[in-house]
Every structure is written in C-alpha cells, then in structure tokens.
Amino acid sequence: MAGMAALRIQQLRAVIQPTSFASRIVGCPRANTPNFVQTARSMSSAPTYEHIMVEKRGEGGNVGLIVLNRPSALNALCDPLMKEVKQALLDLEADSCVGAIVLTGSEKAFAAGADIKDMQNKQFVECYNGNFLNDWNVLSIVKKPVIAAVNGYALGGGCEMAMMCDIILAGDKAKFGQPEIVLGTIPGAGGTQRLTKAIGKSRSMQMCLTGDMITAQQASSWGLVSSVHPPDQVVDEAIKLGQKISQHSKLIVAMCKESVNNAYELSLSEGLHFEKRLFHCTFSTNDRSEGMTAFIEKRKPNFTDS
Ligand code: CAA
C-alpha cells in the first residue's frame, strides 16, 4: 500500500509544475485557516490565476475550494480557464492536508458552457488533432472527492463539469441544461453519457434534444443533485460536506470513490468482484486496523492515510 501511494505521488509530481504551491506547504495547520492558500500564494512565487480563485477552507485547511471567476462571460469554459482548473486540481490532489475539493462558480452562473466565441471558427481537423475537450477529464480522474456547489446556470460544458464531480449540491435558483443542440452541435464532455446514467434515457433525451433547462428542484427529484439549498448557503454546505469526508482516511476514501465510480464502468458481477477485492485490500492498511480498534476502544480514530 505504501509503495502504491509513493508511486502515485511520483506520478503526480511529474505532471505538476515545479512552482506548485502545494509542494511548498509544510505540514497541515490545525486551526481554521480560510484563505490559507491565497496567503501562501501571495508570499511565494506560486502561480497566480486569472480565471479562478483557490482557497483552503475547513479545519486545518482540509477542504480545497476552487471558484470559477470569469464573470464577464458567465464563467464560460475557455481553454486558459480549464488549464487553471487542471493545475489547481493537481495542486490540491498533491496537498496532503486536503481531503476533499469543492468546485463552484458565482450566484449567477456555475458555468454557461464551453466558450462559444472560442469555438465559433474551429474546424474539425483542429478539434480532432488537438483532442478538443479531452483535458477536461482531469476532473473525473482525481482521487480526492470533488463536490460541485452549483448556483445559477450550469449549461452545456458547465453541466458536464458538474457531472464530472462526485457529488452535486445546488442552489434553489440553479438551472441545468445541455443546450448544444441549439448551437448545431451536441454535448462533447460527457453530457449524453453521464446525464443519461444520472436521470435515465427519456429525460436525458428530452434535455439534449430540446436544449431546455431544468430547475434545481427537478434536478433533485430526477437524481442529478444530492440536495438543494438557499443560494447563499450552497458553498458552505459543500464545504461542511467536504470537511466531514476529510475526517476519514484519505486512502480509504479514494478506494471507496474508485469503487462507486466503477458502478458506471462494470457489469454488476464485475463491480461486485472489484468492490470485494478493494474491501479485502483495506485489510492491508493501517487505517482499517486503526478504525476498528478505535471503535472497540470507544475513541476517535487517528487515521494516518496509510
Ligand atoms: N460562451 C461564451 N460567452 C458566453 C457564454 C458561452 N457559453 N455564455 C454566456 N456568454 C457571454 C455572453 O456572450 C455575454 O457576453 P457579452 O456581454 O460580451 O455579449 C455574457 O456572457 C453575458 O451573457 P448574456 O448576455 O447572454 O446573459 P443572459 O443572462 O441574457 O443569458 C444565458 C444567460 C442563458 C446563460 C446565455 O448567456 C446563454 O444561453 N449562454 C450560452 C449557453 C450555452 O449554449 N452553453 C453551451 C455551450 S456549448 C458546450 O458547452 C459544448 C460542450 O459540450 C462542452
């Protein structure tokens, strides 16, 4: 287990720029330190972002918060913004203090989709050769749980981005939609696939073929989002959820997330087999031993993510 973790960290280091702030954060502060990352950034040569803001919230900065911040275009997902999201995710993934990540936008828009102005003159060969949108996948491959806190519009790529996250919380004015059909194209970052798995064929067809938006309440009753909150409370609720997850072993949380995600990829018997094997693997970890021992000794577990 320790060997696998070391290999994973090596792989991450290879893709993270040497200037990454995460590699310079030493230890995990225990006090509640909002803005810790921003403070760390301002005191170092860490990369500064133009289209997003990154903070650490929660006890000891155990929840990473990424805020999409391109208000002039309702957080339309241009390439530079997505590169920043990718960098921030990899930084937070490599930060041993962080146990969960929250992704949000503004009260008006989580994200109004891929940037239509950037796409207007794109041609097939450029899209195909450049594997357009493929980079967005990073959201669905980070090991730490990612919670989308959605207010306002989550349209096209914005809805797809929310669906790449592990949990979606919505503000009660949020609107979800896949309006690509209106633009003469189709969803290209998972809309036809993840939406169908989340809400079923008939509803997904209706949304993708009409381009109509659904409300937060509909999204909730259709199973797309976990819960609906007043708009000014969604981010706090997501951070609370992230904090709760962060109290558990990061190693076991990652294994659990992997197993749930495999429900989308595997047949039931393959999925059950995979789950059973990962369950068996937990018995090779210190945290499984600590968790059960702590229960029996009637104390809180002291997980070491090992
Ligand atoms: N791309 C680029 N710019 C966008 C944008 C987008 N997806 N969405 C909004 N904007 C810009 C607008 O052009 C406008 O900029 P200007 O002031 O410079 O004209 C600004 O954001 C504000 O937008 P509106 O004036 O349109 O705001 P509104 O409140 O009247 O309407 C809206 C809001 C209903 C979300 C409307 O902006 C809209 O329909 N946006 C497009 C939504 C869309 O079609 N998304 C899918 C994109 S394709 C895609 O995502 C493909 C994929 O699968 C990845």
CA distance to 97, 127, 162, per residue, from 131 (Å): 34, 6, 21
Residue 13 pLDDT: 34
Each residue's pLDDT tens digit, 223-237: 999 999 999 999 999
93 belongs to the catalytic site? no
Residue predicted with more confidence, 81 or 40: 81
Contact 109, 55 (CB under 8 A): no
For residue 117, how far is its CA from the centre of ligand 1 (angstroms)? 9
Which protein residue has the closest C-alpha to ligand 1 atom 30? 74
**Of the residues 84, 180, 237, 275, which is catalytic?**
180
pLDDT of res. 47: 65
Cα 186 to middle of ligand 1, angstroms: 16
Which residue ranges have their beta carbon within 6 Å of ligand 1?
Answer: 73-74, 76, 112-117, 133, 153, 155-157, 160, 179-180, 183, 187-189, 191
Q: Whose CA is nearest to atom 11 of ligand 1?
A: 73
The one catalytic residue among 22, 88, 94, 114? 114
Residue 2 has pLDDT above 70, yes or no: no
Which ligand 1 atom sits closest to the C-alpha of 109?
Answer: 35
One of 157, 158, 188, 191 is an active-site residue; which one? 157
Query: 17 vs 160, which has greater pLDDT?
Result: 160
Q: Which residues pair with 215 in a beta bridge?
A: 175
Domain ranges of the chain: 2-246, 250-296
Distance CA(298)–CA(51), nearest Å, equals 47
> Which atom of ligand 1 approaches the CA of 211 most closely?
44
Closest CA to 173 of 112, 127, 109: 109
* 157 annotated active-site: yes
Candidate CATH numbers 3.40.50.720, 3.90.226.10, 2.170.190.11, 3.40.50.10130; the one for domain 2-246? 3.90.226.10
Each residue of 87-134: pLDDT tens digit? 999 999 999 999 999 999 999 999 999 999 999 999 999 999 999 999
**What pLDDT shows up at residue 46?**
62
Taking the C-alpha atoms of residue 125 and residue 122, their distance in angstroms, rounded to an integer, is 9
Counting residues of the chain whose pLDDT is more than 90, the rounded percentage is 82
pTM over 0.85: yes
Q: Does domain 250-296 have CATH number 1.10.12.10?
A: yes
